[in-house]
């Protein structure tokens, strides 16, 4: 799942995500009812709709006037990004020839000046952190505002334990900074560290009152993780595409997002025109593809001629998709 899911950077995953800003569809909340698998959520899309709209305005999401899929079909607060990359253009031309609907992607990346930040200039290194600060991250958008209101941010810290009092109420956290351990007392403790670090912390905070870990009366903490699948498809063209140019994801199709009875599986995929950077591609070829030496050289020599599509699929809950620090349950 990637080492960056256990990082310590201020701003978390928003620093290195691609900026793609989709909403869930209504069907995502009713999988059991519609498809007979997994389970329905205890909330619906309508319960989240207000918050989607609020955050999209707060960070000035840019996107198409009309987004063809899902309950929200635009317009977005800011207009779509122009121009799109060659890789996105190849993707959209291919979709058109095949009769597949595509559009530009909604992005938490500015298409015009906003809040003292400049619009995107298509440097393309969104996953490494946006140097001009055109891409949203909590590091450059929310945290400076919080500091302005008096918040204090402690960086390079790792919380190791959530402490509860004799009544079983959380009273603060233990954390390590520069090899020393400290305790931070708190009236309110919010744990928001993605699906790897959050279970680690809850399970590691087991105590006499909660021997199976915090918030784990169901023994489901860290179990049946639902991230998403990601399959990359590359094609070599006669003309240069130059994958490194432009924001990694600038075009998308969700034509295959919903369950299709003609297929032999439920749920579906989002197709993204996704640009890999040279070092990232080489690393994946070696570590995941076992490609090395002359073959690796030949592929990387022709890097500029490759186009890429990423299939992002839904992962249904499965007992084998779990993490643990020991066998609590």
pLDDT of residue 328: 46
Quickly state the pLDDT bin for 180 (edges 50, 70, 90): very high
Give, in order, the Cα–Cα distances in Å from 5 to each of 195, 276, 289. 8, 19, 22
Mean pLDDT for the stretch of residues 56-79:
95
Q: What is the pLDDT of residues 262-288, one digit of tens each?
A: 999 999 999 999 988 898 889 889 988
Instruction: Kindly report the backbone phi and psi dihedral angles of residue 285, in degrees, each rounded to the nearest multiple of 5, phi listed first.
Output: -60, -40
DSSP state of 85: P
pLDDT of residue 268: 94
Burial of 88 (0-12, 13-18, 19+ CB in 10 A): buried
Q: Dihedral of CA 295/296/300/301: which sign?
A: negative
CB 311 within 8 A of CB 265: no
Of 29-33, 49-53, 230-234, least confident by mean pLDDT is 230-234
Burial of 5 (0-12, 13-18, 19+ CB in 10 A): middle
Quickly state the pLDDT bin for 129 (edges 50, 70, 90): confident
Q: How far, in Å, CA of 259 to CA of 22, rounded?
A: 18
Number of H-type helices and E-type strands within the chain: 7, 8
Instruction: Kindly report the backbone phi and psi dihedral angles of residue 292, in degrees, each rounded to the nearest multiple of 5, phi listed first.
Output: -150, 165
CA nearest neighbour of 104 among 91, 94, 114, 117: 91
pLDDT of residue 3: 57
Q: What is the pTM of this model?
A: 0.89
Q: How far, in Å, CA of 216 to CA of 202, rounded?
A: 8
Across the chain, mean pLDDT equals 92
Instruction: Kindly report the backbone phi and psi dihedral angles of residue 233, in degrees, each rounded to the nearest multiple of 5, phi listed first.
Output: -125, 125
Concatenating the DSSP letter of every residue in 249-268 gives EEEEE-TT-S--TTSSSSS-
What stretch of H or E contains 98? helix 86-98
Q: How far, in Å, CA of 50 to CA of 55, rounded?
A: 9
Q: How far, in Å, CA of 55 to CA of 106, rounded?
A: 13
Quickly state the pLDDT bin for 2 (edges 50, 70, 90): low
Reply yes or no on whether the pLDDT at 51 is more than 80: yes
pLDDT of residue 277: 87
Burial of 257 (0-12, 13-18, 19+ CB in 10 A): buried
Mean pLDDT for the stretch of residues 103-116:
95
CB 308 within 8 A of CB 243: yes
CA nearest neighbour of 270 among 242, 234, 310: 310
Supply 47's token pair: 């319960």
Other beta carbons less than 10 A from residue 188's beta carbon: 5
Buried b (16+ CB within 10 A) or exposed e, 211-242: eebbbbeeeebbbebeeeeeeeeeeeeeeebb
């Amino acid at each position: 799942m990637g080492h960056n899911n256990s990082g310590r950077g201020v701003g978390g995953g928003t620093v290195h995500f691609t900026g793609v800003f989709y909403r869930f569809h209504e069907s995502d909340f009713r999988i059991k009812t519609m498809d007979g698998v997994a389970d329905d959520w205890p909330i619906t899309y309508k319960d989240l709709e207000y918050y989607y709209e609020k955050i999209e305005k707060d960070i000035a999401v840019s996107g198409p006037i009309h987004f063809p899929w899902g309950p929200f079909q635009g317009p977005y607060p800011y207009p779509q990004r122009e121009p799109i990359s060659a890789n996105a253009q190849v993707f959209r031309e291919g979709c058109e020839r095949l009769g597949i609907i595509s559009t530009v992607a909604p992005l938490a990346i500015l298409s015009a000046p906003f809040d003292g930040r400049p619009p995107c200039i298509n440097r393309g290194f969104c996953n490494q952190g946006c140097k001009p600060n055109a891409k949203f991250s909590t590091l450059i958008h929310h945290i400076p505002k919080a500091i302005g209101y008096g918040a204090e941010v402690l960086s390079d810290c790792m919380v190791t334990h959530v402490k509860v009092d004799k009544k079983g109420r959380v009273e603060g956290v233990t954390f390590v900074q520069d090899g020393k351990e400290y305790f931070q007392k708190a009236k309110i403790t919010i744990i928001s560290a993605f699906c790897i670090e959050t279970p680690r912390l809850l399970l590691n905070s087991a105590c006499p009152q909660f021997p199976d870990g915090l918030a784990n009366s169901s023994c489901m903490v860290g179990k049946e993780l639902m991230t998403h699948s990601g399959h990359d498809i590359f094609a070599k063209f006669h003309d240069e595409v130059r994958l490194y140019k432009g924001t990694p994801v600038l075009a998308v199709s969700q034509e295959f997002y919903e369950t299709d009875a003609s297929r032999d599986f439920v749920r579906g995929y989002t197709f993204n025109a996704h640009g890999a950077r040279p070092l990232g591609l080489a690393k994946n070829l070696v570590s995941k593809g076992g490609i090395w030496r002359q073959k690796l050289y030949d592929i990387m020599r022709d890097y500029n001629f490759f186009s890429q599509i990423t299939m992002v699929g839904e992962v249904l809950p499965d007992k084998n998709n779990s993490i643990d620090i020991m066998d609590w349950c």
